[in-house]
Structure 1
Amino acid sequence: MAVYDTLGTTYARTRRPDTRIAARIHTALGDATDVINVGAGTGSYEPARTVLAVEPSRIMLAQRPRGAAPAVCAVAERLPLRDGAADAVMALLTVHHWSDLAAGIAELRRVARRRVLVLTWDQQVFRERFWLVRDYLPQAAAHDDTRAVATERLAALLGGARVEAVPVPHDCTDGFGAAYWRRPHAYLDPEVRAGISMLAQTGENALAPGLASLADDLTTGRWHARYADLLARDTVDVGYRLLVADF
């Protein structure tokens, strides 16, 4: 069973693509005439030139909007596509879910004629810079330690790649892990947490003490005093990285 067959039921509501991140991704795709989206989920960030989406979860596929690119239920490690099937292949916030990273990256390279894009995060930077996992929910960080992929390893598997930092806007509409860095109350919402795999997979029992501490700090004003410097910032870099490999 795909991980998002159990975690993805609210994904279309909480994980809406952010236009600024979309612009970064679409710029990185360059002049590719056709694009395949692997680990596509509900279709976030797919440009109009997307010709196929590949997603293992039928729950996620069912939430794709009307008019989205055609989709197939399959895994990254065994793409049902011919060699060089598209100019570009992208895999966005998905490689940490794959059962065989090397096989999946090899498949991306096989299917792409010219370019592969991978959006991921640097776990060490994320641990050090993101207040939620550093100060309240270290259990979630520990969970991510077991699945996060080092950008250096990804770049090596891609045969070399350009690595770009992707800052997170303060009003980011895509509710991934650090999207609410300036809106801390959001992390107290179970529906928001259900759309963030590091929190949903860590489990409510493990998160409960840290969430209670966060709730108390928000009520007393301690959170706002402690992180006052964040309130004046429009973006933060907490480790999200876009890797671009050309062939």
Structure 2
Amino acid sequence: MIVYDSIGTTYSGTRQPDPRVAAQIVAALGAARTVVNVGAGTGSYEPPQTVLAVEPSAVMIAQRPVGSAPVVQAVAESIPIEDDYADAAMALLTVHHWTDLEAGIAELRRIARRRIVVLTWDQAVTRRFWLLSEYLPEAAAFDDTRAVPVDRLAALLGNARVEQVPVPHDCTDGFGVAYWRRPEAYLDPAVRAGMSMLAQLGDEVLRSGLERLAADLSSGRWHERHADLLELDVFDGGYRLVVADL
């Protein structure tokens, strides 16, 4: 089963594009006049020049807004379009779901003429995030099994640079580290349903850690321990843009 056919039914409700993240992605795409969005999901961060979206999940495709780019239901490892189809290809928070990374990267290189932009995360950084290190080590262990090392990704893409993507304290896109300064959000089942690292594990696995988080929030212990975070506007949660010129 495609992952998001089972966990993606409410995805569009909590995963609204953040304008600051969007601006960084647009800047990374540079002068590309045509873009293919691979692993497109509900269409977050698709720029106006997107000419095609590629997404395997029918559940996610059904949540794409009216007026979105045309979409083809296909996997990244086998994209049914011709070589050099667009100036750029982008793949945002998707490579960890691919069954064959090398094949998927080869397809990105085949369909893009000039540039590839991939949004991913550096697991060595992300696993230190307080939610994972203090409350949900099971989620960290799960991501250890699927996270793609950034240096491996850059090497496969070739001629790549890596950019840090800071997470704003009021980020509107509810990915895993988005609520670093709003810990109460992780107690909301609807929020967790939009994060694959938590949704795929299920609440029974996470129950003990979530109960400890709730207790620490109620007692004020979390706020005492993480008072330094409350002074920050942005946070490095490990998210990275890997940008390759072809």
TM-score normalised by structure 1 residue count: 0.99
CA deviations on 1:49-72 (whole Å, 9 max, x unpaired) are 000000000000000000110101
Instruction: Indicate the larger mover: 201-210 or 44-53.
Output: 201-210
Corresponding residue number in structure 1 for 2:223: 224
Query: CA–CA distance in 2 between the matches of 1:111 and 1:52?
Result: 11
Query: CA–CA distance in 2 between the matches of 1:7 and 1:53?
Result: 20
CA deviations on 1:177-236 (whole Å, 9 max, x unpaired) are 000000000000001101100001122111000000000000010010000000010000
Q: Indicate the SS of the match to 1:198.
A: helix
Aligned partner of 1:139: which letter?
Answer: E
Corresponding residue number in structure 2 for 1:50: 50
Unaligned runs of 5+ in 1: none
Unaligned runs of 5+ in 2: none
Q: Indicate the SS of the match to 1:28.
A: helix
Corresponding residue number in structure 2 for 1:80: 80
Aligned partner of 1:54: which letter?
Answer: V
Corresponding residue number in structure 2 for 1:89: 89
Deviation at 1:160, TM superposition (A): 2.9
Aligned partner of 1:239: which letter?
Answer: G
Q: How many residues align?
A: 246
Aligned partner of 2:188: which letter?
Answer: D
Corresponding residue number in structure 2 for 1:5: 5
Corresponding residue number in structure 1 for 2:237: 238
Instruction: Kindly report structure 1 stretches of 4+ aligned residues shifted beyond 3 Å.
Output: none
CA deviations on 1:15-51 (whole Å, 9 max, x unpaired) are 0000000000001100101000000000000000000
TM-score normalised by structure 2 residue count: 0.99
Query: CA–CA distance in 1 between the matches of 2:102 and 2:241?
Result: 18
Corresponding residue number in structure 2 for 1:137: 136
Aligned partner of 1:59: which letter?
Answer: V
Q: Indicate the SS of the match to 2:116.
A: strand
Cα RMSD of the aligned pairs, angstroms, is: 0.5
Q: Indicate the SS of the match to 1:64.
A: coil
Query: CA–CA distance in 1 between the matches of 2:103 and 2:172?
Result: 32
Query: CA–CA distance in 1 between the matches of 2:103 and 2:67?
Result: 31
Aligned partner of 1:20: which letter?
Answer: R
Query: CA–CA distance in 2 between the matches of 1:135 and 1:15?
Result: 25
Q: Indicate the SS of the match to 1:117.
A: strand
Query: CA–CA distance in 2 between the matches of 1:21 and 1:182?
Result: 17
* Alignment partner of 1:203 is 2:206: no
* Alignment partner of 1:20 is 2:51: no
Identity of aligned residues (%): 70
Aligned partner of 1:122: which letter?
Answer: D
Q: Indicate the SS of the match to 1:32.
A: coil
Query: CA–CA distance in 1 between the matches of 2:31 and 2:145?
Result: 36
Aligned partner of 1:92: which letter?
Answer: L
Query: CA–CA distance in 2 between the matches of 1:84 and 1:47?
Result: 19
Query: CA–CA distance in 2 between the matches of 1:239 and 1:62?
Result: 30
